[in-house]
Amino acid sequence: MQSRRFRIEELCAINNASIPEDWEEDTDGDCWDILEPLLLQIGKYAFHKLAAASIAPDFELSVNGRQDWYEFTWTK
């Protein structure tokens, strides 16, 4: 398995008090019906903004989904 390095992993960290801490468990995973489309939208937006900044030639951005924390990936 390829090792992944996160050079700017703490670029953005948000503690969102509007999402209950145990939301996934309390909804039996149904929370992902709401979260996945939003994470995809945010990921696409962030990727285009960061790619325009020419961070690195092999720039990659990922967001988590219901199956994996590194589920959706965009590469330059």
Read off the pLDDT of residues 19-61 as tens digits, 9 standing for 90 and up: 888 989 999 999 999 999 999 999 999 999 888 887 777 888 8
> Degrees (nearest 5) of the Cα angle 50, 38, 17?
100
pLDDT at residue number 1:
42
Categorize the per-residue pLDDT at 13 as very low, low, confident or very high, splitting at 50, 70 and 90: low
